């Protein structure tokens, strides 16, 4: 089986949801951090997310905008032939 990593995100300022596939966790991590920093900038917050704190930073945005329309995460999936 092959593993892929899906970055799933929605910016409350720019819907709809984004789903992007990556072959490596590192690629997905880089993308999710970039997307969270875009969301922070759009909400007039410092774009200071990194791989160690992006989940906490998205939670702070969810407090303002609601979790329904403001999220970013990595979903690991197994592909079967």
List of residues 6+ apart from 30 with CB closer than 8 A: none
The span from the CA of 55 to the CA of 1, in Å, is 28
User: What CA–CA distances, in Å, run from 51 to 2, 26, 80?
Assistant: 24, 10, 29
- What is the residue-level pLDDT of the chain in tens, covering all 81 positions? 899 999 999 998 887 899 999 999 999 999 999 999 999 999 999 999 999 999 999 999 999 888 888 999 999 999 887
Sorted by where each begins, the domain ranges of the chain are 2-79
The answer to whether the CB of 56 falls within 8 A of the CB of 15 is: no
Q: By C-alpha distance, which of 64, 79, 59 is closest to 13?
A: 64
């Amino acid at each position: 089986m092959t593993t892929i990593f899906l970055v799933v995100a929605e910016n409350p300022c720019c819907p709809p949801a984004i789903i992007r596939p990556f072959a490596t966790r590192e690629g997905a991590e880089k993308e999710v951090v970039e997307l969270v920093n875009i969301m922070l900038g759009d909400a007039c917050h410092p774009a200071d997310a990194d791989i160690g704190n992006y989940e906490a930073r998205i939670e702070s945005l969810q407090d303002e905008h609601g979790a329904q329309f403001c999220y970013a995460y990595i979903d690991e999936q197994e592909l079967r032939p």
